[in-house]
A and B are shown apart, each in its own frame.
Chain A
Amino acid sequence: MQPVEQRDEVEMLSLMLLIRRFEERASQQYQAQKIGGFCHLYIGQEAVVTGAIAAVRDDDYVITAYRDHAHALARGTSPDACMAELFGKETGCSRGLGGSMHFFDKQHHMYGGHAIVAAHIPLAVGLAFAIKYRGEDRVTLCFFGDGAINQGAFHEALNLAALYRLPIVFICENNLFAMGTSVQRSTSLRQIVDRAEGYDIPGEIVDGMNFREVRDKVAEIVDSIRKEPHPAFLEMRTYRYRGHSMSDPASYRTKQELEKYRLDDPITRLRAQLTREGKLTNEQFDLLDKRAKETVLAAVKFAEKSPQPPLDTLYDYTYADGATEPDRPRPVEPAQERREVAPSPSTNSP
């Protein structure tokens, strides 16, 4: 566990690059129909998760919604296991049983990957409850989108966390849209952070495109939580460059708006800061980027050649003690024509 200040910023920049290149490659593989189901990309939001992870220890708990590839990568899940999960392979971080929206990695304290909007926020409060129950000094980071804050689960969870004074940072990744619904059209507040005030939880707005600001804010709050457990709320102002999911052309927003945010790109920004301070040359940056691309390409190769989960393990992951119903049918190979009737990615909604 490295103390926060010493986490190398160049290393964090290279993590941001890895996330971006991973997502670009995932997009390409999705279009090539190597990846099924829904797939939500994180491109544009990289500073939020890298900044937050840079501010915590390896044994702190992390949990998020379905836009989760970056959170697993940032926690240390191998790009191979992440890509293999997208491919539905046995070597995936959830053995191919979770998919894009359900990345889990117990070893790296990544508690998912949850696809019912806001349903994981009570779980996060449970993780924080366990920390306090055991008298540990860990912290839970709970990420969610702006769309989650109008769900009952969100409100119940915030109230419980405040009531029991649990060690948790609620991190709202406000990318201005929940699918096609802008925050103005969903939320009866001037700013999201005001939700926290209703539960007497301290809250702040953070520039989510600025790695350093995210890291420093999270570090400050985590520090205070470790001294005396309490919940906190951070509204990260950020932006997703791509559509909500692979099938979304994002016609509900203007090109100009997207361009405005692209100019404020989190990777470009940290790169410029480091370059200005003489900590990074152009050659070094190019090398980092090249390495990220190579890592991701290798992950695709790994995923491609990995085996499918064996059919005879179908019933192995339903009950922890292997309990099964006596009447269970024997798993059979699905009919071949299934592939032909599979919907094309463009018709695949949420």
Chain B
Amino acid sequence: MREITYRQALNEALAEELERDPNVFLMGEEVAEYQGAYKVSHGLLQRFGPRRIIDTPISENGFAGLGVGAAMVGLRPIIEFMTFSFSLVAFDQVVNNAPNMFTMSGGQFNIPITFRGPNGPAHQLGATHSHATENFYASVPGLKVCAPATPRDAKGLLKTAVRDDNPVLVLEAELLYSSKGMVEPPDEELLIPLGKAEVKREGSDVSIICYAQTVPLALKVADQLEEEDISAEIVDLRSIKPLDEKTIFDSVAKTHRVVIVEQDHPFCGVGAEVCYRIQKNIFDALDAPIIRVSQEDVPMPYNERLEKAVLPNADKLIAAVKQVCYA
């Protein structure tokens, strides 16, 4: 194991999959000559050439659709959205074409495509550039959605996504690109299956269910809670869809108390689905109502103070944990 950044981990995943399979190509805005808007594709043009690392004009609908068409005849496109906020311009291709084709053709055309890019609020980008899109996309049958929080998960999930025969969205955490973590050495194949959550920290009093940008927050809060003698178990979903019920239920069966901290909005957010499944399947294991911490239900303000007030934060999370623990 060695320590690398989330960005490097993604870069390695791309390079390894491009190396392994000649049908894989990377396409998007500024992925080639500019070396990636967030430098995730750094060096790939030099290594793989312009046939496989392809710059596009600003035409998300166009190049997302191009990817779906190429996937119909067996190529395995990796389509980068500069951010998933811009994927909304290609919503029709991601929601209507990629996942529906397999069904509509009676199983003749599967679409082995990966859509990837940064997702979720970053710093003070305002309402148009701060979308957390996981709940939109996870509600679409035929799509798979993952949202890695660590360099290791980022690498392993992206590689798995590229090999999957379905459309997979890899929602990268914009704020975590420079974060570091331990990852297997490059000569060791690292594949992390979709649909497998991971307990990032064991605990006994409360399960904090989180993903992507809320994982570091939850881990930090767990440290603070420990000082107050509350032992929090941190369950990182990693995949939003398919959802790993087993790991969630096992944790809840142990702690009997749950807080879900998500980076999307409260109405029909990811946490709403997780919450539903817990109460439906292991209601008797619960000692307190489940509480969700999410963004506030407003478009993201630019103002820094207000933005902080909209996002999930340590204070909100700690308050929620205390509420479920002393309930």
Chain B residue at minimum C-beta to C-beta distance from A104: B105
Known: A130-B75, A320-B165. Is A122-B66 also a contact (CB below 8 A)?
A: yes
Which residue in B65, B77, B141, B164 is a CB contact (below 8 Å) of A125?
Answer: B65
Is residue A321 contacting chain B, with contact meaning CB distance below 8 A? yes
Looking at the complex, which one of A123, A163, A321 makes contact with B65 (CB distance below 8 Å)?
A: A123
Would you call B57 and A97 a contact (CB within 8 A)?
no
Measured between beta carbons, the chain A residues less than 8 angstroms from B142 are: 318-319
B124 proximal to A (CB < 8 A): no
Min CB–CB distance B67 → chain A (angstroms)? 6
Query: What chain B residues lie within 8 Å of A114 (beta carbons)?
Result: 97
> A229: which B residues are within 8 A, CB to CB?
none
Q: Which residues of A contact B62 (CB under 8 A)?
A: 122, 125, 153, 156-157, 159-160
Asked if A127 CB lies within 8 Å of chain B CBs, one says yes
Give every chain A residue within 8 A of B280 (Cβ-Cβ). 327
B242: chain A residues within 8 A (beta carbon): 323-326
A122 pairs with B69, CB closer than 8 A: yes
What are the interface flags for A111-154 relative to B under an 8 Å C-beta threshold, 1 for contact and 0 otherwise? 11110100111111111111001000000000000000000110
**Whole-angstrom distance from the CB of B245 to the nearest CB of chain A?**
5
Knowing A94-B104, A94-B108, A104-B105, say if A119 contacts B73 (CB, 8 Å): no
- Shortest distance from the beta carbon of A271 to any chain B beta carbon, whole Å: 35
A102 within 8 A of B: yes
Q: Contacts of B165 on A, CB cut-off 8 Å?
A: 320-321
Flag B59-87 by CB within 8 Å of A: 1 or 0 each. Answer: 10111111111111111010000000000
- Shortest distance from the beta carbon of A37 to any chain B beta carbon, whole Å: 12
Residues of A within 8 A of B195 (CB): 323
Set B65, B66, B106: member contacting A98, Cβ < 8 A: B106
Q: Could you tell me the distance between the alpha carbons of A324 and B165 in the complex, rounded to whole angstroms?
A: 14
Indicate whether A153 sits within 8 Å of B73 (C-beta atoms), given known contacts A96-B106, A98-B104, A112-B104. Answer: no
**Chain B residues near A116 (CB-CB < 8 A):** 92, 96-97
Q: List chain B residues, Cβ under 8 A from A130.
A: 69-70, 73-75
9 additional contacts (CB under 8 A) given A120-B97, A129-B69:
A94-B106, A111-B69, A119-B93, A123-B66, A125-B62, A125-B65, A126-B66, A126-B71, A325-B241
Is the CB–CB distance between A316 and B107 below 8 Å?
A: yes
Does any Cβ of B come within 8 Å of A170's Cβ?
no
Considering the complex, which residues of chain B in the window 242-275 have a beta carbon less than 8 Å from any beta carbon of chain A? 242-243, 245
B25 within 8 Å of A (CB atoms):
yes
Q: What is the CA–CA distance of A119 and B97 in the complex, to the nearest angstrom?
A: 8
CA of A126 to CA of B74 in the docked complex: distance in angstroms? 11
- Output the nearest chain A residue to B99 by Cβ-Cβ distance: A318
Contact sample, A vs B, 20 pairs, CB 8 Å cutoff: A63-B69, A93-B106, A95-B106, A98-B106, A111-B69, A116-B92, A116-B96, A119-B65, A119-B97, A122-B61, A123-B97, A130-B74, A153-B62, A153-B92, A156-B57, A157-B66, A159-B57, A160-B63, A318-B142, A323-B195
A98-B110 contact given A116-B92, A123-B68, CB 8 Å threshold: no
User: How distant is the Cα of A92 from the Cα of B105 in the complex, in angstroms?
Assistant: 10
Asked if B303 is an interface residue, CB under 8 A from chain A, the answer is: no
Complex contact B65–A157 (CB within 8 A): yes
Closest chain-B Cβ to A66's Cβ sits at a distance in Å of 11
